[in-house]
Amino acid sequence: MKTLDDRKVYIGGPRTEEGKQRASQNAIKHGLFARKLVLLEGETQEQFDTLLTRFLEQHKPEGPTEESLVRHLADLEWRIKRVPNLEARAIEADPANMAKALGTFGMYSKRMSAEFQSTLKTLHDEQAPRLLDHSRKFRLCVLLREHYRRNNIDWDPTEHGFVFSKELIDRQIEDNKTWDRVMQKPIIHTTTRWQDELLMRLAL
C-alpha cells in the first residue's frame, strides 16, 4: 500500500510521453476555446487591443449589448488566427498523427468561423433598428436644413437634439444638388463593368 509520501509523486503534471502530449493538446484546445482571453507564447495584449480597436472602429457599437458582441467577434477572430500556428505545433509534437491534427483543427476552425458569422448576424440584427432610426433622423435634418436655408435661417440640428452637424448636413445637400443636375441630362456610356472599374482598381 502506498504511503502519503509515495502518493505525492503522482500529484502534478503528467509523467509519461503520452500524458505530456495529451496535456499539450489540452493546452492548445484551451487556448482556442477559453472563455477568458488567454495569451499564448508569442502573443501580446497590445496585439489583441489593436485587433479590438479595429473591430470597434468598423462596427461602431453603442450600448453594452453591442459592445459585448463586438468584443466577442474580436475574441473569435483572435482564436481563428491561432489555428494555423497551433496546428503546426501539434503536428510537430506528434508527426505520426498529422491527419488527426489536420482534421481536429479543421473542425475547430469551422466551428469558430460559424460562431463568428452567427455573432455578426446577431450584431447586425441588434443594430438595425438604431441605424434605421439614425437614417430617418438624418434625412429629416437634410429636409429641415434645406427648408430653413431657403428662408435665410441658419438652422442648427445640434440645437434641436440631433447629433448631425450643420457642415455634414450641408455636404449632403450639395451632393443632392449635384446628383439632381446629373440626372436631368444623364449620359449613359456603352462600356462594360470591367471598363468602368478599370481605374478604380488602381486605387486598391
Distance of CA 36 to the CA centre of its chain: 18
Which DSSP helix (H) or strand (E) runs through 173?
A: helix 166-184
The residue behind cell 433622423 is 137
Domain spans in the chain, listed from the N-terminal domain onward: 4-202
Retrieve residue 67's grid coordinates.
459592445
Nearest to 140 by CA among 96, 102, 167, 172: 172
Retrieve residue 74's grid coordinates.
474580436
pLDDT in single tens digits along all 204 residues of the chain: 443 334 333 333 445 555 445 544 444 444 455 556 788 888 899 999 999 999 999 999 999 999 999 999 999 999 999 888 888 888 888 888 888 888 888 999 999 999 999 999 999 999 999 999 999 999 999 999 999 999 999 999 999 999 999 999 999 999 999 999 989 988 877 777 777 777 777 766
